[in-house]
Every structure is written in structure tokens, then in C-alpha cells.
Chains A and B, each alone.
Chain A
Amino acid sequence: AQSVTQPDIHITVSEGASLELRCNYSYGATPYLFWYVQSPGQGLQLLLKYFSGDTLVQGIKGFEAEFKRSQSSFNLRKPSVHWSDAAEYFCAVGARNDKIIFGKGTRLHILP
């Protein structure tokens, strides 16, 4: 069965430091992978997506993610975080004509 695992429930980093949020997926077919961000009380905003091609994907707000098929991973990275990046981050997997399955989310805290 398809699933998404985000092993870190909370991550705390200092402002200006680099960030990596982990995501592992389980899916029988070629996955389509997404990272979403959610601020408190808000809907989801798509940060980036991977469908095919270059395995390093650039997104909005300076985020990037790398698809590693051998590791079934799609980790999100940012070289230097800003206080405004504090939010909940969801990794998700989907496929053509299929549903999107969300991970449980990682809450990012930023230290001043």
C-alpha cells in the first residue's frame, strides 16, 4: 500500500541555517511527489513537485527537493531559512488518476 513517512514531527533550526526535511515514500508505480507548506489556520501551498525528468527540483521560496529512487526519498532542502519559513510541511505522493497521500507533517520552528 502506498504511504508517506515523515520521520521528524518537529524540527528546530536557527534563522540563517540550512534545512533538510526528510520524506520517504512507498508506492508501487512511478510516484508523483509533492511538498506543501501550511501556515496555522491556512490552506496548503504547493512548494514544488516532481513528475519526471531532473531529479533535483526547484520550488518557490528558495526550496528544492531531490528525488532519489534508490532510497525512495524526496527530501526538502533550503540553504538558509528565514523566520517566515516557520510552518507545517507536508510531503505527499500521488499518481495519475489516483489520490494524493499525505505524510503526517513536520513542524518547522525557527530560532532567532
Chain B
Amino acid sequence: GAVVSQHPSWVICKSGTSVKIECRSLDFQATTMFWYRQFPKQSLMLMATSNEGSKATYEQGVEKDKFLINHASLTLSTLTVTSAHPEDSSFYICSAAGLGLAGAPPYEQYFGPGTRLTVT
């Protein structure tokens, strides 16, 4: 149980285009989803927290107009990188926390496998 998927696993896009990354909780309802960014050989940096049906809460320094997050259902959140540039190239990881997980506190996060974004 507690499986989180991401799609795509990797994507290459041209500078100036937008790309959407999906994060799905497969066997539980994710009341909260988190989006992280990880640069090579570095730790995960939280970008934003999204609660189903609400606007995302962005961390300081993260451009909300550039990184659009939608959490329209209890099993799906999307991150759209708008007008991507090479400096947006990174590994994006989502995690999900929620109800319906036997024995799991609501704040325990389950991580997706990540999406490698390369902007050329």
C-alpha cells in the first residue's frame, strides 16, 4: 500500500515551453501533497504544499506563477513548469500524505519516484 506514482519519469522540453508533471496516490486518498526539487547531489528542497481543493502554499523564493500546482482531487496533483528555462532543469519529486492508511499518521509522507526535467 501507499504507492505514489509520477508521470512522466523524464521529460525533455525546449526553452519557453511548459511542461506538466502528474503525481498520483494509487491506493489512498492524499489530502496533502508536497512538491520538492532536487539538484544534482543535493538534498530535497520543498517547493510547495498543496491541499485538495485549496490553493497551494509556496515556500519562500518559489515563483508561484512559474510553478503552477493544482490538487483538484484526492488522488492527483499536478505541477506545471511554465515558460521553462534551462535553469529549471532538475529532479522533481512529489510526496503524498493522507487518510486511509492503516496505522499511518496523517503527516507521514510517501514519495513518488521523481521526474527528471531537462530544458534545452
Interface residues of A (CB under 8 A from B): 32, 36, 41-46, 49, 51, 90, 94-100, 102-105, 107
- Bitwise, B26-58 to A at CB < 8 A (1) or not (0) is 000000001000000111101001000000000
User: Which single member of B49, B91, B93, B108 contacts A99 (CB below 8 Å)?
Assistant: B49
Total chain B interface residues with beta-carbon distance under 8 A = 22
Contacts of B114 in A (CB 8 A): 41-43
Are B44 and A90 interface neighbours, CB within 8 A? Answer: yes
Shortest distance from the beta carbon of B57 to any chain A beta carbon, whole Å: 10
> Which residues of A sit under 8 angstroms from B49, Cβ to Cβ?
99
Given contacts A43-B114, A51-B105, A90-B44, 16 further A-B contacts (CB under 8 A): A32-B105, A36-B111, A42-B113, A42-B114, A43-B6, A43-B111, A49-B108, A95-B107, A96-B107, A97-B106, A97-B107, A98-B107, A100-B34, A100-B95, A102-B43, A103-B43
Chain A residue contacts of B46, Cβ below 8 A: 99-100
Q: Is the CB of B105 within 8 A of A96?
A: yes
Task: Pick 19 A–B contacts, CB within 8 A, sort by A.
Answer: A32-B107, A36-B111, A41-B114, A41-B116, A43-B113, A44-B93, A46-B110, A46-B111, A49-B108, A90-B43, A90-B44, A95-B107, A96-B107, A97-B106, A98-B107, A99-B46, A102-B43, A102-B44, A104-B42
Residues of A within 8 A of B15 (CB): none
- Going nearest first, the 10 A-B pairs with the smallest beta carbon separation are A43-B113, A44-B111, A43-B114, A104-B43, A43-B111, A102-B43, A102-B44, A105-B43, A96-B107, A43-B112
Whole-angstrom distance between the alpha carbons of A41 and B113 in the complex?
Answer: 8
Residues of chain B at the chain A interface (Cβ within 8 Å): 6, 34, 41-44, 46, 49, 91, 93, 95, 105-114, 116
Q: Which residues of B contact A51 (CB under 8 A)?
A: 105
